[in-house]
Structure 1
Amino acid sequence: MSDFNFLADLLAQPGSLIFAMLAVAAAYTVFTLVGFGSALFAGGPLTLLMPVARSVPLLAMLDCGGSALRGWQARRHVDWPAFARLFPGMLLGQLLGVVLLARLPAAPLAAALGLFIISQGLRGLLGKKGENRPSGRRALASGLFGGVLGGLFGSGGFIYASYLERHLASREAFRATQAVLIGLSTAWRIVLCLALGLLDLELLLTAFAFLPAMAAGVWLGRHIDLKISREQLARLLNLLLIASGASLLLRFAL
């Protein structure tokens, strides 16, 4: 598939397009609940229709729009001190991730990161929580790690979510703070993609084509959110950590 004609090719494959739309809707249902998961659920189906170099910035645009809307709606609940602890590391980590992407082989790094993420999910499911007292050093490490993953693989939101879920008691604060972080993180990634020439008008039009699927997922996620407890949310988050780690292993290491 041509890098410059994939939109026309995509529209010419209605079955594949419907499959991708359903994947995007499912991805943003999960994304609305826990603040990450779009790349995990939609990345694979989208790469069947377009190159990875196109699907990553496409999801970044959709993430940015959805998170900005969610963050604006819940701005009164944002925990700004927690945000301030994560944000500097996130900016630096994304820049570092892009540099590493250009210089290092992805597979060995993905294998190590995938195993680490799986271990974090298993640790959470087994109830072995880390220290709950906010720590500037821990927040900087989480911001850096999540940023590096975002720059390398287009998905680092689960690191921010894991940190915030452990340190914020309010579900509203968790949702709002995660949304603002992801909105700014993806906006920064879009700037980096623009600098590298990975964004163009055709990709922007493709993002608009997927907006209805994203909106449907956000609507469904908000309705499910009203019916689950914090414990169920934490369990879902840790299961998705395991799935994210496994996804990295499958996509880049095996």
Structure 2
Amino acid sequence: MLRVEHLSKSFGGVCASRDVSIDFPTGSLTAIIGPNGAGKTTFFNLISGHVRPDEGRVVFDGADIVGLSSLEVVRRGMARAFQVASLFPSLTVREALTAAVVSHRRGSARVFTRFPVAAAGRQADEIMDLMGLSPKAKVVSANLSHGDQKLLDIGLALAMDPKMLLLDEPTAGMGPEERWRMIGKVHSLWQVTGMTMLFIEHDMDIVFKIAQTIHVLKYGAVLAQGNPEEIRRNKDVIDAYLGTDHRLSETVGEA
């Protein structure tokens, strides 16, 4: 689905992405982790068209998309939900999702002049069901809880009919119960849709619980990649990011 080849980007004298090459197979659920400043958000910006790389290729669904605008990348099937929810604050949940569907179908952000076609409303209802937001259909978006706002933000990305979904720290700012509710919904979404999904996350318990594959970045470069068990026991990753806690807890659990 997505192949990144020798991707590099510098801002002034700071190298934010350094010769990164990663494959993301169709239907995969992949985590990007690493310490602060590792280049995780820059990587998302590079592959989604928000920032142009200095070198390298981003091949999405068989085509090199480097140089395309972020809007065109979305139109080709890569959608992104941001760390800070981007909502239609004055609209209800159903209105916001319907507006997003209409906007995507018309290829225009001018969605408020007339509202909306029945098919768009039905798609909005399907997205609400998928995200567990149907009981909040008539709630104004700005009045949602933080967790529900994040769910709505993912729903707005789904309104773009993506082939691949990027999630930038989907559990950021949540308490323990909300975090597990959110990540359970993300995992369920992946299982139900079979969509290719890529997420950035700092909570390692969550990463090890749901990710098929984990890529670890450090100073903009790939430090390690593998399945959760391989990453948990990788000495370089333990030294650079995890510390010994995760490995020790796993060892104790096996005793």
Counting helix residues as a fraction of each chain, which structure ranks higher?
A: 1
TM-score (norm 1): 0.31
Q: Quick check: which has more Rg, 1 or 2?
A: 2
TM-score (norm 2): 0.31
**Which gives a bigger RCO, structure 1 or 2 (Cα 8 Å, sep 6+)?**
1
